[in-house]
């Protein structure tokens, strides 16, 4: 298989996975957790004594996948994925969370893109970590404020999303090493 074909195929896989994180996050927040708050989110523990809405797990990985879409398919595909993701987010969000979900997604992913882009060619792992951290903080603040008018679960949101970013680091590092070995440069 040609290197260009491999890049495109992997990019499309990352794109599909990115798109799937959005409905998964919206489903989790209303249906899965160790505790489901009446007329509120379902929660999961993310640290001792710290709970977060369960959808945070998918949003943390969405930020990483957006970076990988850009790495494989380019910034235009990543920007298109962000816009499509905001629409998907609004489509799948519970009615009370449509605006919060779509706006938080759009702003956090655009911030992720802005931080990732200048760093990605030279320091992939650092670019993924820093851009994801910026994106997850923005996503957490915007979503919680718009959805609930409160930042009560901010620490849990940030911790939960950060776990997913940390868990992705070995894969991103492996991908960078493999790309260098086979001569697969970023898009």
Q: Return the pLDDT at 171.
A: 96
The average pLDDT across 77-97 equals 80
Q: Identify whether 111 is part of a domain.
A: yes
pLDDT (average), residues 22-49: 88
Burial class (CB in 10 A: 0-12, 13-18, 19+), 61: buried
Q: Is residue 51 domain-resident? A: yes
Average pLDDT for 86-91: 79
Burial environment of residue 8 by CB neighbours within 10 A (0 to 12, 13 to 18, 19 or more): middle
Give the pLDDT mean for 97-121: 88
Q: State the pLDDT at residue 128.
A: 94
CA 100 to chain centre: 15
Instruction: Specify the pLDDT at position 132.
Output: 93
Query: Within a domain: residue 167?
Result: yes
**How many C-beta atoms lie closer than 10 Å to residue 86's C-beta?**
20
pLDDT band at residue 1 under the 50/70/90 scheme: low
Number of independent structural domains in the chain: 1
Residue 187 placed within a domain: no
Q: Residue 34 is part of which domain span?
A: 3-182
User: For residue 101, is it within any domain?
Assistant: yes
Taking the CA atoms of residue 182, residue 126, residue 160 and residue 110 in that order, the dihedral angle to the nearest 10 degrees is: -90
Reported as a single tens digit per residue, the pLDDT across 132-181 is 999 999 999 998 899 889 898 899 999 999 999 999 999 999 999 998 88
Q: Is 142 left (phi over 0), alpha (psi -120 to 50) or beta?
A: alpha
């Amino acid at each position: 298989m040609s290197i260009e074909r491999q890049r495109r195929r992997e990019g499309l896989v990352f794109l599909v996975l990115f798109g799937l994180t959005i409905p998964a996050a919206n489903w989790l927040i209303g249906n899965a957790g160790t505790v489901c708050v009446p007329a509120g989110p379902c929660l999961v523990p993310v640290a001792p004594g710290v709970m977060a809405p369960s959808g945070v797990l998918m949003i943390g990985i969405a930020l990483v996948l957006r970076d990988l879409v850009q790495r494989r398919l380019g910034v235009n595909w990543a920007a298109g994925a962000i816009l499509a993701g905001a629409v998907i987010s609004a489509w799948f969000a519970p009615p009370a969370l449509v605006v919060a979900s779509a706006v938080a997604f759009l702003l956090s992913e655009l911030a992720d893109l802005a931080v990732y882009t200048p760093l990605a060619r030279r320091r992939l792992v650092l670019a993924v970590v820093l851009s994801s951290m910026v994106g997850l903080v923005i996503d957490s603040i915007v979503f919680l404020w718009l959805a609930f008018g409160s930042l009560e679960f901010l620490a849990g949101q940030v911790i939960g999303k950060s776990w997913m970013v940390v868990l992705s680091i070995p894969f991103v590092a492996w991908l960078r090493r493999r790309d260098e070995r086979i001569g697969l440069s970023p898009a």
